[in-house]
Amino acid sequence: MDAFVIEGGRPISGRFEAHGSKNATLPMLAASLLTDEPVELSDVPRLEDITNMLRLLAELGVEVAEEPGQARGGRTVRTHVTDASLSHARYDIVRTMRAGVCVLGPMLAKRGEARISMPGGCAIGPRPIDLHLKGLAALGASISLANGDVVAKAPAGGLRGATVFLGGPFGSTVLGTANIMSAATLARGRTVIESAACEPEVVDLGRLLQTMGAKISGLGTPRIVIDGVDQLGGASRRVMPDRIEACTYAMAAAITRGELTIANWPVDALVGPFEMLLAAGVEIELSEHEPLDTPGGDPIRATAYVRRKGPLRPVELTTQPFPGFPTDLQAQALAMLTLADGNSIITEKIFPERFLHVAELLRMGAHVIRHGPTAVVSGVPKLVGAPVMASDLRASAGLVLAGLAARGRTVVRRVYHLDRGYQRMDEYLTGLGANIQRVNENALEELAVPA
Ligand code: EPU
């Protein structure tokens, strides 16, 4: 296992270009199961989660080819179903990547049957899929559990359109909406998804499905209407920019008093975090871009110039479904606000247990008190380096940011979590002025790093 050894205190500055979005790519790759023709995605990031999804698709009879993309490390991935007789997504693969669940809807719709290992919980809390299953059952599927697998079967004659309500105790479900929308493209008749997720990644998937021939309206709103078609064709699409990656780098510049130009910044997907950065005293300017109300709904790309000169100001923020502040940026924001000039209040409304980074940040001198889903962060003048443990993807990113700003050395262990969602973050940050070394955890002793 690898660890990052970070010598903190250096400002992050220079130019960075956001990669294609992990969370948009995953359900789009799964959607390639819906057609017998090739689907081509460009700007696919090189990440562990994507590699695992491609392995899963290969097990499900999909031929995968790829070409290197632009110099900054994206790639074009072409998928083509060559054997549609397989329908079992095995535990070995699904346990490595929860997003494996997004093959459920496409497989059921196209192959009439899907068997997928029931995803377990993870470090950010329980991760039920009851809403996915409820939605598929509404389309006529019979659902049962066998040996830890969910087995879904379409009725004779295939899935049929229905009205599906996807609101749960914590709002809608992103991958649940992706699953039901994908399945409904091939169902007979009309499906109306009420309380659909409005996240830009769902819109990006919907645009791909439309290019494949699906009849979908209402993307980006809580009511998505899908009129089923007999078959879908091939398509190609450039994946939207990764809004979480882009904003994590903005926060890296902010926490280190650096200045960063970030290209491929998805303007409309980052309205909430943009406001939050401004409120926190971070200067952020966008290059000219299209107005936000373009009818196309495609991502609007711009270049963001991020800089912090003055103190960080405390803010009150609550994670919410889009267009609210995303849960996937909560850990990074919390890390940044540990250095604010006052008390910030952070409430996590999507995954109320997603605070594993807090205990690690305390070891670096942060002052954070947690009351259930709320963390009160009292800003401190400085953080100090310490050995810390990454527990999940975004928590790891928060710890890396803290390490960049801290005085002295921070060792972040188990960065495999980070590698699931950030492409070569150590190399990019080093190129932007950070001092980060990736080492095998066994080598830490030789470097005289305390355990
Ligand atoms: N939920 C239910 N029942 C369900 C599904 C979800 O109660 O059937 C609850 C969840 O427990 C949670 C809330 O609804 O409290 C939202 O979960 P959602 O289903 O929207 O999460 P997801 O679709 O499984 C995606 C992202 C996550 C991101 C969430 C929320 C992907 C691959 N994953 O997960 O990303 O945090 O939406 O925006 O798109 C990450 O990238 O680090 C990550 C965890």
Residue nearest to atom 36 of ligand 1 (CA): 328
Q: Which of 238, 186, 240 is nearest to 213 (CA)?
A: 186
Q: How many Å lie between the centroid of ligand 1 and the Cα of residue 193? A: 17
Helix, coil or strand: residue 160? strand
Give the pLDDT score at 186. 98
Test site for ligand 1: of 127, 240, 396, 417, most ligand atoms within 8 A of the Cβ: 127
What separation in Å is there between the alpha carbon of 173 and the centre of ligand 1?
6
**Range list of H helices, 185-316:** 200-211, 243-255, 271-279
**How far is the centre of ligand 1, averaged over its atoms, from the C-alpha of 335 (Å)?**
22
Q: Ligand 1 in contact with 198 (CB < 6 A)?
A: no
Residue nearest atom 20 in ligand 1 by C-alpha distance: 173
173 lines ligand 1 (CB under 6 A): yes
Q: What is the pLDDT of residue 91?
A: 78
Structure tokens at 362: 């305390």
Q: Look at residue 445 in the predicted model and tell me its pLDDT.
A: 73
If one residue of 52, 103, 143, 173 were mutated to test the ligand 1 pocket, choosing by the most ligand atoms within 8 A of its CB, it would be: 173
Helix (H) and strand (E) counts in the chain: 14, 24
Q: Which parts of the chain register pLDDT below 50?
A: none
Where does 388-438 have alpha helices with state H? 393-405, 416-419, 425-431
Residue having the nearest C-alpha atom to atom 4 of ligand 1:
129
- Residue 329 CA to ligand 1 center (angstroms) comes to 13
CA separation, residue 362 to residues 380, 388, 394 (Å): 11, 10, 17
117 forms beta bridges with: 149
Token pair for 178:
């992706």
User: CA 48 to CA 396: how far, in whole Å?
Assistant: 15
For residues 372 and 353, what is the distance between their CA atoms, to the nearest angstrom? 8
Catalytic residues: 122
Residue 110: the pLDDT is 97
The pLDDT assigned to 120 comes to 63
Question: Which one, of 267, 90, 105, 244, lies nearest residue 187 by Cα?
Answer: 105
Residue 70's pLDDT is 61
Can you read off the two tokens belonging to residue 314?
């405390």
- 117: helix, coil or strand? strand
In this predicted model, what pLDDT tens digit does every residue of 106-144 receive, in sequence order?
999 999 999 998 876 567 777 889 999 999 999 999 999
- For residue 448, the model assigns a pLDDT of 63
Nearest Cα to Cα of residue 368 among 392, 396, 344, 401: 344
What does DSSP assign to residue 443? Answer: G
Report whether residue 353 contacts ligand 1, using a CB cutoff of 6 Å.
no
Query: Which residues is 153 bridged to in the sheet?
Result: 113, 142
